Structure 1
């Protein structure tokens, strides 16, 4: 029987602002209606307006006092002073109008600002709540927070995957759109990785939990989006510093105006109209709306100063393998070099199978894209790697391994040269012919002599052909490829995509140097990479954009823009959206300053009065919010 009062109290608490606006507005309407039909006396009008001012003004005064105790001069303080002053001089209607319009504006602002945070709220609503965990005595449904690393999670159709993990058994079609923005389902099977938050559409899975709770990609996305929305760009930090002295200045000018004119109403009007309400929301509404819209599309744009830097990017640099290409290279051919009479030092005949076995031995411990292609090819051909030990992985060069019969080298020309291995004219010719068709060539040397080469191809990503034109439309002036691949393959890809400049055959430190040269020339450089092999260049660039960040924890945490999918069209989209956010912030600031300046001039010229001025002021705040909310939609929408 005690539930009803508690429910009523809960409803009142949740809708306190709406009730304040409704009661205050009703009292004001009643006062004017009674006056209009001749049923009310001046005293009735005064009482109703005074009560309306008190109802609306209590919450305003409470906030003003609290912030004043915290040594903060605020807009509620200006409204409170104006309302008290209006009541003091007998202008109850002015006091009611000022307080009512302020709380009405605050209520409408709250409703519209809530929409800008809808993207984050939608993500939170999609967070997995429970999971099916396989135990010795059967499958149990438990809270997602209770799942431990190593648990086997069963995923049925309609289930939301509660962990990041690897598929042990089964196959399924997963909707990953909440994380990646990718509309097409992802087909997964044994050995594939899955992300928490994905929804199973069809199929059955058993998944080994590798990341649980706050460590999942989904949880990190929620945290990073919320953090980015709360960070302030430079223009907002400047406005915060401005507000610290602006409010005391307005109070001082109002007092000075009264001393000069002895017109209390004029002074109070100046006080209220000087409120920088639109300036206060100029930046937050745009940042929250824009970043929330981006998050829904699988684009995590970091806020604050990073947003400012993204807006100034004029050069975009790309890695090739895994960024412009699919990153799923495959072997297109193996060639064994003719050996000098007498064969190699160990009298082993050079043929394609032996070259492949040597290359696979050296690449066993490597995680490079090309290493995987060689190992997959060896497996497909049924070729076992030569027994090896003492592996060395040399970034930008290749891999080295020791066998009982000699040292195996697999890599580029620089690796061979660094080990004193020379190529003949015929061998160079064989490599050049493959490179001219766009293949990447990995040379194989054994016991100090080149024994063959492996030609590898890596198809372009879907959407790559429209990348450069999209970047130009977003305001980027120049594109450049920085790759460790050979010159021929790099230039072929660049020609297909329309990339302005190519620097090939680069070591990781040379990519860093190339970016520093561009920065020294006055450019603001963005680097697009996979977040692993390109880590030094990403760290050096003014703006780092990590591709496919849903699988790379470091990239999600450190990149300025983390793309949760590998769709290249998201790169110009993310830069363009960042610029739109900054543009809207600047529009809002200019508009807000102009409105306050014009209103104050109108007050001094006795053209703007208290109630009318407050109405225009609140309308300007709503226009600033609505302008920011345009960022919730795509430009073409």
Structure 2
């Protein structure tokens, strides 16, 4: 019976409203007191039934909820035969709840939209080479899929044949079509606007980028911030306190109606709903704009960040470096380059790719006994020779002697802003390569935006040489630059800043960044980075779009302000209402409930403004929310 009544709550709300209207018409139009009282009695019973059930369910778990206050107030009004007040209060309370749910559903529209655009089917290549439509859940890694114009890409994959333009707004927040051709990556949930492509499925189901976005946003919207947890604790004490206050008012005044009015006006509805709606709207805005905020707590911490640490390669730079300078020492260089290429082709590091691209066609050999030296490079055996590839520190560790010419070349390459890759064969330096990466377009403007948002310290930490790091820092106007840093060095430096009381965010994209991402107050991962970095982080910038970082910080600051505004509105309204009860003649139960429900809608609509937030000056076509 309880479930049935709660399911019919909205219908009962409208029936109660219609009965109230009939009652007023009978009273003021025809002066019929009998119909007036009858309709208001029925309206009161219909209205209080679902509220009383919710109150009973709350009391069973030892929670004195708002429904308890309203139920007691309505029963009291009914007993003193104030049917008009009891009917109007229950109708306003239920109608307010109905409007709350509708408006709250709009704040969750981002996750709803994501779920609706999830691909459901795919054209999968079968044994005879033809393509057959199958459920997307039946696609496995390695399958060949066909995507036609206007269709959704069903999985994360790599283009094998064909070309076209894809709208990646569901992943990056940008609706500008992106050109795709053989060898490029595509993402599930994006739309092929023109052309036809065949792709190889690399990630399927929940493992796709799109699947992870949905999962992360759902988890984030269900999480609670410190402010919400405080309000939960506050409500547990506040609601009984209102009951005690109402009892004290009755004890001294012997005025039942006044005590009941205090119960109604003391309901903390707007306070309870104000913070969650701000959080949900903020997270929804982020999801729409290529920023994943992993939980409400992230919003609170990120809004207070005053120091941001950056990895260099793949974060401040494009992550697609090329060999700019090189020097050879001794003989048999072609053979050495073959050894170098053989080792580097087993790595997916950007510097390794640059080396392979520069070497081009060569003779590859079998690589054995590979050993990765953290923060140094790699050592392996090729054709019986010990090959060491890495930085100067690795050469020292391998006891490789650097003659005057090599030291002069190293100094010159570093001065020119190169990352160094040295190759030694059997303890002798053979090849020195200087590799340069390009700074991300627009990153300087984005860093300036971070400063305007209140970030005091912008610091780059890199395993690269100090000369290269200094050049990047100077060009971008960073506060500090530190090179030759191992992962543990970055983590130690971060902890040192935290010990000084700074709120630190770390931005990175690689496995080696994971310790710092985990230790930072806010870990921010570039979306095209490693799975470990993304899982460890608190914020993900989809498609590695650095310009999303200022938007993310501005959004969290605005969301935090919005939360505070809602708390002030909610508390202020309750104080004004209670003061009006004691110090004015115009306040009554119905007016108080009307104002109370209106305050709930005010905080909801205030929170919903966050769905339209755009960082002022960062997107000239959009409005900012303050």
TM-score between both structures, scaled by the size of structure 1: 0.91
| Residues 321, 435 of structure 2: 8 Å contact kept | yes
Alignment of 1:593-608 (within 5 A): 593-607=571-585, 608=587
Q: What residue in structure 2 maps to residue 562 of structure 1?
A: 540
CA distance in 1, matches of 2:366, 2:77: 92
Q: How many residues align?
A: 611
Shift, 1:491, TM fit? 0.9
Equivalent residue for 1:156, pick from 139, 144, 148: 148
Equivalent residue for 2:345, pick from 364, 367, 382: 364
Alignment of 1:160-179 (within 5 A): 160-179=152-171
Shift, 1:274, TM fit? 0.8
Q: What residue in structure 2 maps to residue 634 of structure 1?
A: 613
| Residues 405, 447 of structure 1: 8 Å contact kept | no
Shift, 1:251, TM fit? 1.6
| Residues 283, 588 of structure 1: 8 Å contact kept | yes
Shift, 1:242, TM fit? 1.5
Matched, 1:197 2:189: yes
Relative to structure 1, the CA distance from residue 219 to residue 579 in structure 2 (aligned partners, 3 Å threshold; closer, same or farther) is same
| Residues 171, 205 of structure 1: 8 Å contact kept | yes
Matched, 1:266 2:244: no
Equivalent residue for 2:356, pick from 375, 392, 397: 375
Shift, 1:99, TM fit? 0.7
Deviations 1:56-94 (A, max 9, x none): 222222222222233322111211111121121121111
Shift, 1:217, TM fit? 2.2
| Residues 246, 263 of structure 2: 8 Å contact kept | yes
Matched, 1:315 2:307: yes
Q: What residue in structure 1 maps to residue 40 of structure 2?
A: 49
Relative to structure 1, the CA distance from residue 543 to residue 56 in structure 2 (aligned partners, 3 Å threshold; closer, same or farther) is same
CA distance in 1, matches of 2:382, 2:43: 91
Q: What residue in structure 1 maps to residue 412 of structure 2?
A: 433
Q: What residue in structure 2 maps to residue 79 of structure 1?
A: 70
Q: What residue in structure 2 maps to residue 120 of structure 1?
A: 111
CA distance in 2, matches of 1:32, 1:614: 19
CA distance in 2, matches of 1:568, 1:215: 23
| Residues 270, 604 of structure 1: 8 Å contact kept | no
| Residues 163, 197 of structure 2: 8 Å contact kept | yes
Shift, 1:397, TM fit? 1.1
Equivalent residue for 1:183, pick from 164, 169, 175: 175
**Partner secondary structure for residue 372 of structure 1:** helix
Equivalent residue for 2:496, pick from 510, 517, 529: 517
Deviations 1:236-270 (A, max 9, x none): 10111121222222222212211211101100000
Shift, 1:424, TM fit? 2.7
| Residues 513, 533 of structure 2: 8 Å contact kept | no
Stretch of structure 1 that moved more, 366-375 or 195-204: 195-204
Q: What residue in structure 2 maps to residue 294 of structure 1?
A: 286
Q: What residue in structure 2 maps to residue 401 of structure 1?
A: 380
Alignment of 1:15-164 (within 5 A): 16-37=8-29, 39-137=30-128, 138-164=130-156
Alignment of 1:203-602 (within 5 A): 203-337=195-329, 339=330, 348-350=331-333, 353=334, 356-379=337-360, 382-385=361-364, 388-404=367-383, 406-549=385-528, 552-602=530-580
| Residues 309, 505 of structure 2: 8 Å contact kept | yes
Stretch of structure 1 that moved more, 602-611 or 574-583: 602-611
Deviations 1:144-179 (A, max 9, x none): 122233332221111112222333333332222101
CA distance in 1, matches of 2:296, 2:285: 17
Deviations 1:438-486 (A, max 9, x none): 2222122222222231121111112211122111122211010000111
Deviations 1:335-359 (A, max 9, x none): 213x4xxxxxxxx355xx4553343
**Alpha-carbon RMSD:** 2.2
Shift, 1:187, TM fit? 2.8
Shift, 1:575, TM fit? 1.9
CA distance in 2, matches of 1:456, 1:415: 17
Deviations 1:353-386 (A, max 9, x none): 455334323323222110111012222xx23346
| Residues 130, 143 of structure 1: 8 Å contact kept | yes
Shift, 1:17, TM fit? 4.9
CA distance in 2, matches of 1:80, 1:404: 85
CA distance in 2, matches of 1:405, 1:303: 53
Stretch of structure 1 that moved more, 120-129 or 405-414: 405-414
Shift, 1:127, TM fit? 0.5
Shift, 1:228, TM fit? 0.5
CA distance in 1, matches of 2:415, 2:435: 12
**Partner secondary structure for residue 83 of structure 1:** helix
CA distance in 1, matches of 2:322, 2:5: 63
| Residues 250, 271 of structure 1: 8 Å contact kept | yes
**Partner secondary structure for residue 421 of structure 1:** coil
TM-score between both structures, scaled by the size of structure 2: 0.93
**Partner secondary structure for residue 20 of structure 1:** helix
CA distance in 2, matches of 1:31, 1:89: 19
**Partner secondary structure for residue 511 of structure 2:** coil
| Residues 365, 383 of structure 2: 8 Å contact kept | no
CA distance in 1, matches of 2:35, 2:551: 60
Shift, 1:13, TM fit? 10
Q: What residue in structure 2 maps to residue 625 of structure 1?
A: 604
**Partner secondary structure for residue 455 of structure 2:** coil
CA distance in 2, matches of 1:70, 1:515: 44
| Residues 28, 48 of structure 1: 8 Å contact kept | yes
Q: What residue in structure 1 maps to residue 620 of structure 2?
A: none
CA distance in 1, matches of 2:46, 2:31: 21
Moved over 6 A (4+): 12-15
| Residues 544, 561 of structure 1: 8 Å contact kept | yes
Q: What residue in structure 2 maps to residue 5 of structure 1?
A: none
Structure 2 unaligned runs (5+)?
617-622
